[in-house]
A and B are shown apart, each in its own frame.
Chain A
Amino acid sequence: DSGVTQTPKHLITATGQRVTLRCSPRSGDLSVYWYQQSLDQGLQFLIQYYNGEERAKGNILERFSAQQFPDLHSELNLSSLELGDSALYFCASSFQGPPRSGELFFGEGSRLTVL
Chain B
Amino acid sequence: AQSVTQLDSHVSVSEGTPVLLRCNYSSSYSPSLFWYVQHPNKGLQLLLKYTSAATLVKGINGFEAEFKKSETSFHLTKPSAHMSDAAEYFCVVSYNQAGTALIFGKGTTLSVSS
Contacts and interface: CB of A to CB of B under 8 A. Distances in A.
Contacts of A42: 104-107
A108 B43 contact: yes
A2 B44 CA distance: 9
Contacts of A58: 95, 101
6 contacts: A31-B100, A92-B44, A97-B100, A99-B97, A100-B32, A106-B43
Interface in A66-115: 90, 92, 97-104, 106-109
Interface string A18-36: 0000000000000101010
Interface in B92-114: 92, 94-107
Interface residues of A, number: 28
A28 B77 CA distance: 33
A106 B45 contact: yes
Given A33-B101, A98-B98, A103 B43 contact: no
A108 B49 contact: no
Given A35-B104, A100-B99, 4 more contacts: A2-B43, A99-B100, A101-B99, A108-B42
Contact of A45 (B32, B99, B104): B104
B56 interface: no
B15 to A, nearest CB: 27
B44 A102 contact: no
Contacts of B100: 31, 48, 50, 55-56, 97-99
B74 interface: no
Contacts of A55: 100-101
B26 interface: no
Interface string B79-98: 00000000000101011111
